[in-house]
Amino acid sequence: MIAVDTNILVYAHRADSEWHAIADSSIASLAESGATWAIPWPCVHEFLSIVTHPRIFDPPTPLSDAIMQVDCWREVPRMWFIGEAPGHWDELRTLLERGRVQGARVHDARIAALCLQHGVTQLWSADRDFGRFPSLRVVNPLARA
């Protein structure tokens, strides 16, 4: 199963992103493939925070449009939002300790732990910080551009 990280979601959503076309077509291809895929809940929260933030985008995405985007993803067959489940702490703790994670990278460890816990085989991300977690295969779909 493939999971999609925040940055790919933002690029796909924001037409003013230089990576919009490739991110949007990557997610569309994934959605149309019939394969099961996922978006971690923390990525949804971060997506909403980023696209609606007036210091990041001028103009920011209106909240109603950002919510509509999440609702569109919800309607895609075989797409799941994944979150914490029993055993999450054990997985997260292992990643934190092995990766010597601290500070803002705890968020990345949380996403990696969710992915591993839910059987994700690939995380689509342009974030190189996930390299700290060798048990999770990270693929940058933008690298095809």
CATH number belonging to the domain at 2-144, selected among 3.40.50.1010, 3.40.50.620, 3.40.1190.10, 3.30.200.20: 3.40.50.1010
Is residue 144 pLDDT above 90, yes or no? no
Q: Report the run of H or E that residue 37 belongs to, with start and end.
A: strand 37-40
Mean pLDDT throughout 36-61? Answer: 97
62: which DSSP letter? P
Is the model more confident about 144 or about 44?
44
Is residue 33 pLDDT above 60, yes or no? yes
Locate the domains of the chain by residue range: 2-144
Tell me the pLDDT tens digit for each residue of 67-90: 999 999 999 999 999 999 999 999
Mean pLDDT throughout 7-30? Answer: 97
What is the chain's mean pLDDT, rounded? 95
The confidence score (pLDDT) of residue 145 equals 55
